Amino acid sequence: MYRATPATRAKAAAVRERIVAAALAQLADGGYASASVATVARRAGVATGSVYRHFPSKGELFAEVFRRAAQREVDALEGLGLAACVETFVRRALAAPARAYALIAEPVDPAVERERLRFRRAYADLFVRLVGDELVATAIVGALAEALVGPLADRDRDPDALVAGLQSFVLSAVEGTTARVH
């Protein structure tokens, strides 16, 4: 019976990380539509079968990729006030439109969609801490995501005007709550 050694486990973990990194990069370059398992394997420098040894399906690979990419976005907002959260969310999305569209709205495998819903909840929890109201926080998350879908495709939009408009919208939505706005 074969027993994995620490060295073989480390090598397998390194290959898995290379696959995830390649999938993250492909997602950023062209979204889910561009990210076939063969493309990810080629980018990672491994055989397609190696991808399937680490991830039983494309859905499971991209659920992991989504978790990592979305967690980075949530982490970028931690500790910020409301206006700064809105600005950071918008500017990060506009800086990487293919990735942002993939995280926000691109049609995806059901396993990835489950992760998307889980992270919308994480964003809502972050905004609850800022505005003190779950319904308002959830509405902010939905509004920000929906408001960005068009601008992610229309690269000619003025980012400063978009940030200012969304900040104004969000701040007016929370008037009278206990929001931490700065």
For the stretch 97-147, pLDDT in tens is 999 999 999 999 999 999 999 999 999 999 999 999 999 999 999 999 999
DSSP 107-118: ---HHHHHHHHH
Task: Look at phi and psi of residue 132 and say left if phi exceeds 0, alpha if psi is from -120 to 50, else beta.
Answer: left
pLDDT higher than threshold 70 for residue 36? yes
- Helix, strand, or coil here: 45? coil
pLDDT higher than threshold 70 for residue 180? no
Q: Specify whether the CB–CB gap between 59 and 111 falls below 8 A.
A: yes
pLDDT higher than threshold 90 for residue 178? no
pLDDT higher than threshold 80 for residue 157? no
- Please report, as a single letter, which amino acid is at residue 146: E
DSSP 117-140: HHHHHHHHHHHHHHHS-HHHHHHH
Q: For residue 115, what are the CA distances in angstroms to 35, 62, 80, 124?
A: 17, 10, 24, 14
Question: What structural domains and CATH numbers belong to the chain?
Answer: 6-173 (1.10.357.10)
Locate 74 and state its tokens: 């949530």
For the stretch 99-113, pLDDT in tens is 999 999 999 999 999
Confidence of residue 179 (pLDDT cuts 50, 70, 90): low
Confidence of residue 21 (pLDDT cuts 50, 70, 90): very high
* Structure confidence at residue 176 (pLDDT): 66
Q: For residue 89, what are the CA distances in angstroms to 12, 55, 121, 157?
A: 35, 30, 15, 16
pTM of the model: 0.86
Question: What is the Cα–Cα distance from 168 to 83, expressed in whole angstroms?
Answer: 9
- Please report, as a single letter, which amino acid is at residue 175: E
